[in-house]
Structure 1
Amino acid sequence: MTTLRSSWPSRLRQLLSSDGAIGPSVKLDSEPPPKIKAFIEKVIQCPLQDIGIPLSGFRWEYNKGNFHHWRPLFLHFDTYFKVYLSCRNDLTLSDRILEDESPLPKYAIMQILRVMQIILENCPNKSSFDGLEHFKLLLASTDPEILIAALETLSALVKINPSKLHGSAKMVGCGSVNSYLLSLAQGWGSKEEGLGLYSCIIANEKTQDEALCLFPSDVENGCDQSNYRIGSTLYFELHGSSAQSKEHSGDKDSPNLRVIHMPDMHLRKEDDLFLLKQCIEQYSVPSDLRFSLLTRIRYARSFRSPRICSFYSRICLLAFIVLVQSSDAHDELVSFFANEPEYTNELIRVVRSEKTVSGSLRTLAMLALGAQLAAYTSSHERARILSGSSISFAGGNRMILLNVLQRAILSLKSSNDPSSLAFVEALLQFYLLHVVSTSTSGSNIRGSGMVPTFLPLLEDSDPAHIHLVCFAVKTLQKLMDYSSSAVSLFKELGGVLSF
């Protein structure tokens, strides 16, 4: 293998020069570099209410990061959240839920979450992160853009490094946030309840197509109407004095059962918090169930707009991505897959729907598959839980995704759409995870079609695609590390000559 690599062109050797994680090694300095220290001081010295101003221009310019260097900034963010979020009735879901006079400081919150996400994405040693209690407040927001930003930040926190698989990865837990993630990941309900992830996404995407069409059809598909009706209906069960919601209780014969049933929520003029307040007062909903109820209200009312519904499809997928990688979410995942044992196949159906599902949602579905695979490989306990989730990327599923990847790579020649680039990157990340997490034999690698699928990227000279070329090269490197027949196939197909 060493001889073959030494004969490869310099560009290929350079891309393969790091056998570990993609990127340079981390230099663990105890003192923050002057540039980082100056930025943190600039933010801290700014009046707290204006924190969004110095954060607005933040970009990552620090090579590979050390999370400890940024702790003073994160502590400052904690101070902001304590001052401006912890006292809000609309986020704590108190009995006085409608009594907040000042609007939520959205701009500052979005800037803080953006900066946190960038730092967490670039710092591998982030297990010492704290402040998760603030995310429970953020996830209670009725602004879907804040939910998405919060979940993207949590995703950066828990993301498993492909180079740290096979039990060596130090997974990060989300603590009490896990129950909130479960509620959000369950979306509009399970397939057993009549509406799964795929059918809801398809129903919403078709609605958007109708809105853009000059001559929308007068007759809608009966199945779509049914999905729309189920998705916009609020159904929530309260059991006994300690009231457990439907998603946490299987006892439907309790004499103390109370049901909140409200159809056509998308037609209601009242906002989410007003409806929650109404339910709290009418049904005496205890505080520990209010987030779950609010989540059901938010999803049911999202059908009022294709744009809002698309937001909540993203929220549903992002919540799963975080939950499946959270180290201490065992109970929540058992509960999730008890209702959705076919969730992996649901995600693959979304990924395959090239003509009916937007690129951004297909990318998130692909990232969800990658997150599931990374968690499965990183933890024996997580593998035990996921073993009943129809998680199988061998055989048919692997070929399905390879065909999707092949078409996506070919489409890069005619499109520089950011969503297309992101989708290809998500597919390549998945296959890097797949190769790292397996000890596939050489014959299976040859039969899988992975080498010929990846080779066209080696000839791609578009500067905007260099990160995709890096992923392809890394994956091919791992394939050839496992099998000499993969090396032979690579040479037979002209892979070396591509460089």
Structure 2
Amino acid sequence: MVKVAPPKKRVETPSSVKAVVDKIASTPSLQLSTVFPPFVWIFGKGDIQHWIVVLNHFDDFFAAHVAPRVQLELKRSPALGHPHGGPFPSDACLWILRATAVILDNCSNKQLYGSTEHLSSLLASEQIEVAVAALYVLASATRRAPGARSNRFHSDHKLRARLLALCSGLGDTARQGDGGGSSAGGGGGGDASPPTLVLGMSVGGGGAGRKGIGISASDDAGAVHFEFYSPRGADEVLGDLGPSGSRVISASNLHLDGLSDHATTEQLASEYKVPADLRFSLFARVRLAKLGATPEGASTAAQIRLLAFCILLQSEGGSGGASGGGGPNGADDTLGLVFLTEPQPEFVAELLRVLRAEGEGLPSAVVELSLRVLAALAGDRSHQSGVITVMRSGGHPAVFSALVASAVSRLTAAPSPPVGAELAAAGLPKLELDAINAEADAPVPLAEALVSLLSTLVTTHGGCQTLRDVSLLPVLLPLLRNRNARHVHIVSHAVHVLEIFMDYTSSASAAFRELGGLELVVERLKQEAEDALAEHATTHGSGGSNGGGGVGG
């Protein structure tokens, strides 16, 4: 396994970062989740070279506890009994994966990250939470800066094949959602509105302001349909595969079989003689089918599909290089490759339906990932024009405008935790401060995804026209009043979007002045200058500052 190599040229690590790096690296990896609270970022813009020691410490954990587990390669026969090494240390693994995602989200030089082979293996983890966390790390590693055409992230054949398998069903859910609503319960009163079908979920409906998600009645619960070609020969686990030819697996109600995803896959693979190189494709169908049989599971399945699609789209070469590094596994994966490389207006419309249903009880993670996928599509050459065309039609600008206004309102309404001298004077108990920080952070993921999409759109002519349709200035300007220390990065990105947008059109500059934007900027600069002077006076008078840590709230 390739670790992160130290830089040839010495890179100076800030003292506050080094203190946290040393603390994490000196802690045994199996104890990280018990010694430290969830990892949070408090360092400003970072460089992954500052965190090489930590990332290599994490890689040692993967080498010891992930690489030896052959069941993650789906090559273990049921007759072999308990997998390698006893119970998997999922708590430690989750802490490491989530900390890694935070580091990658906040650092440059992400292309140096070298543990993707282990992440690829974890996509087959028996614990769904671990598999999803691995996808989030890959999404962070592949995320491009707005306007960038490349991120120098290369995925190997194994990873691309697994991601394609996890995308399975995206095209089906888009076509299903385009067909209108379908009530899972049937009947209903005259005032009951039909639910909206998005990404395999039934959202809202039922009248009386009902919110929440269900599952589509048009789907066979827990059903798998898998077509594949089996070559003639022998398999190391199954033995003789029988005669060559096309085969079809059709099974339903898999969520009722009482077996784990691995056990169900092994059972079907043994019965239908599925070759080793197609076994993860079958496993992905089994997992997604079982998840899709419950409302909560359907939400997780939607997140898995969206994450896998976004990672593939943003890997080196984008949609244009999707066929590189080996072909897909199975007929359904071939369809997934076509879905990735060709414009998909139905899928874009499906993502916009997610935004429309945002206030109907749809999980925020699904909305956030839909925005991330829209940003990735809008930044991809083969999809860009199609995305913008759909976004400018069918009332979508109004939906997008309402979402921006809602996100700004939530950020503004969130509590502002005390910092610096205010924090010392407040003397708040840690539990109370953690609660305030958590409430302040709650609207951040959605706002970050939204600003990412805005930052991508504003770099193109068509995108700026879309933002003009959205009436961007009136809905985004109130964000300049937000002084919350935990929202500074969002405000900074929003200001950058406004700068580019006003460069695009002189009418936007005039509107900015008419709406009081100039006064807002001047007032904010004045307040920030006063804060900086006060902080300097405080630290100068006390002879220094307390460094603080990077682990914990």
Report if TM-score (shorter chain) is over 0.5: yes
> Is the Cα contact below 8 Å between 1:205 and 1:306 reproduced in 2?
no
Correspondence for 1:199 among 186, 197, 200 = 197
Q: Does 1:178 align with 2:181?
A: no
Note if contact 2:458-2:500 (Cα within 8 Å) is conserved in structure 1: yes
Contact 2:371 2:453 in 1 (8 A): yes
Pick closer, same or farther for the CA change 1:344–1:242 going to 2, 3 Å: farther
Instruction: Give, in angstroms, the shift of residue 257 of structure 1.
Output: 1.9
- Please tell me whether the aligned partners of residues 440 and 482 of structure 1 are also in contact (alpha carbons under 8 angstroms): no
Hey, what's the Cα distance between the residues in 2 that align with 1:452 and 1:183? 42
Match of 1:331 among 322, 335, 350: 322
- Within the candidate set 432, 437, 443, 2:460 is matched to 437
Aligned residues: 441
Question: 1:365 matched to which residue of 2?
Answer: 370
Q: Distance in 1 between matches of 2:467 and 2:172?
A: 36
Whether 2:300 is the aligned partner of 1:303: answer no
The aligned residue for residue 131 of structure 1 is 115
State the Cα distance separating 1:272 from its structure 2 match. Answer: 1.0
Please say which of residues 134-143 and 474-483 is displaced more in the overlay.
Answer: 474-483
Residue identity in the other structure for 1:402: S
Correspondence for 2:348 among 333, 344, 347? 344
Give the structure 2 partner of residue 237 of structure 1: 227
Per-residue CA deviations over 1:386-439 (Å, capped at 9, x if unaligned) read 368655366324454224323444566667776545334422331122112337
Structure 1 gap segments, 5+ residues each: 1-27, 244-253, 377-382
Q: Is the contact between residue 451 and residue 490 of structure 1 (CA under 8 Å) also seen in structure 2? A: yes
Maintained 8 Å contact 2:197/2:203:
no
- Give the SS at the match of 1:199: strand
Q: CA offsets per residue over residues 129-179 of structure 1, 9 Å max, x none?
A: 2121101111011322112211111111111112xx254x53422223122
Amino acid of the residue matched to residue 149 of structure 1? A
Match of 1:269 in 2: 258
**Match of 1:401?**
400
Counting only pairs closer than 5 Å after superposition, residues 88-107 of structure 1 correspond to structure 2 as: 88-96=69-77, 99-100=82-83, 102-107=86-91
In structure 2, relative to structure 1, the CA distance for the partners of 1:239 and 1:346 (3 Å cut) is: same
Note the C-alpha offset of 1:91: 1.0
Partner of 1:474: 496
Instruction: Give, in whole Å, the separation in 1 of the partners of 2:43 and 2:483.
Output: 27
| Counterpart residue number, 1:225 | 217
Mapped partners of 1:166, 1:55: distance in 2: 35
Cα distance between partner residues in 1 of 2:276 and 2:163: 17
| Deviations 1:106-149, CA, capped at 9 Å, x for gaps | 01111111221122112111212212110111101132211221
- SS at 1:135 equivalent: helix
Summarize the Cα distance change of 1:406–1:106 in structure 2 as closer, same or farther, 3 Å threshold. same
Match of 2:513 among 481, 484, 491: 491
CA distance in structure 2 between the partners assigned to 1:47 and 1:464 by the alignment: 30
Q: Is the 8 A contact 1:204 1:309 kept in 2?
A: no
Q: 2:142 aligns with which of 129, 138, 158?
A: 158
Contact 1:171 1:325 in 2 (8 A): no
Structure 1 segments of 4+ aligned residues over 6 angstroms from their partners: 195-198, 413-417
Shift in CA distance, 473/63, structure 1 to aligned 2, threshold 3 Å: closer
CA distance in 2, matches of 1:70, 1:343: 38
Amino acid of the structure 2 residue aligned with 1:351? L
Q: Say yes or no: does 1:117 pair with 2:97.
A: no
Q: Give the Cα–Cα distance (whole angstroms) in 2 for the partners of residues 467 and 238 of structure 1.
A: 48
**CA displacement at 1:59 relative to structure 2:** 3.6
Q: CA distance change for structure 1 residues 166 and 408 in 2, over 3 Å: closer, same or farther?
A: closer
User: Which whole-Å deviations, capped at 9, do the CAs of 1:13-32 have from their partners, x for residues lacking one?
Assistant: xxxxxxxxxxxxxxx85254
Q: Displacement, 1:325?
A: 0.7
2:389 corresponds in structure 1 to: 392
The 3-state SS of whatever aligns with 2:230 is coil
CA distance in 1, matches of 2:70, 2:301: 23
Q: Match for 2:61 among 66, 69, 80?
A: 80
Is contact 2:261–2:286 with CA below 8 Å preserved after alignment?
yes
Percent identity over paired residues: 27
Q: Deviations over 1:260-280 (max 9, x none)?
A: 111122222122111111112
- Displacement of 1:203: 3.1
Name the CA shift for 1:53/1:437 in 2 (closer, same or farther; >3 Å): farther
1:13 match: none
Counterpart secondary structure, 1:436 = coil
Residues 1:70 and 2:51 aligned together: yes
Asked if the contact 1:67/1:123 (under 8 Å) is kept, the reply is yes
1:264-310 deviation line (CA, Å, top 9, x unaligned): 22222122111111112112211111111001000111134332332
Q: Which residue of 1 aligns with 2:133?
A: 149
Kept in 2: contact 1:86–1:92 (CA 8 A): no
Q: 1:412 to 1:345 in 2, by over 3 A?
A: same
Separation in structure 1 between the aligned mates of residue 67 and residue 265 of structure 2, nearest angstrom: 19
CA distance in 2, matches of 1:447, 1:192: 25
Give the counterpart letter for 1:93 in structure 2.
L
Q: Give the equivalent residue in structure 1 for 2:183.
A: none
The structure-2 alpha-carbon separation of the partners of 1:455 and 1:419, relative to structure 1 and needing over 3 Å to count, comes to: same
1:266–1:107: structure 2 CA closer, same or farther, 3 Å change rule?
same
Residues 37 and 453 of structure 1: is their aligned pair in 2 closer, same or farther, counting only changes over 3 Å?
closer
TM-score by length of 2: 0.70
Query: Could you tell me how far apart the structure 1 residues matched to 2:354 and 2:462 are?
Result: 28
Distance 1:393 1:414, change over 3 A: same
**Structure 2 spans left out of the alignment, 5+ residues:** 1-8, 180-195, 234-242, 324-335, 416-438, 524-553
> How far does residue 85 in structure 1 lie from its aligned partner after superposition?
1.1
Q: 1:486 to 1:78 in 2, by over 3 A?
A: same
1:429 aligned partner, one-letter code: S
AA aligned opposite 1:432: S
Q: Secondary structure at the match of 2:231?
A: coil
Give the conservation status (yes or no) of the 8 Å contact 2:69–2:83.
Answer: yes
**Where in structure 2 are the equivalents of 1:277-288 lying within 5 Å?**
277-288=266-277
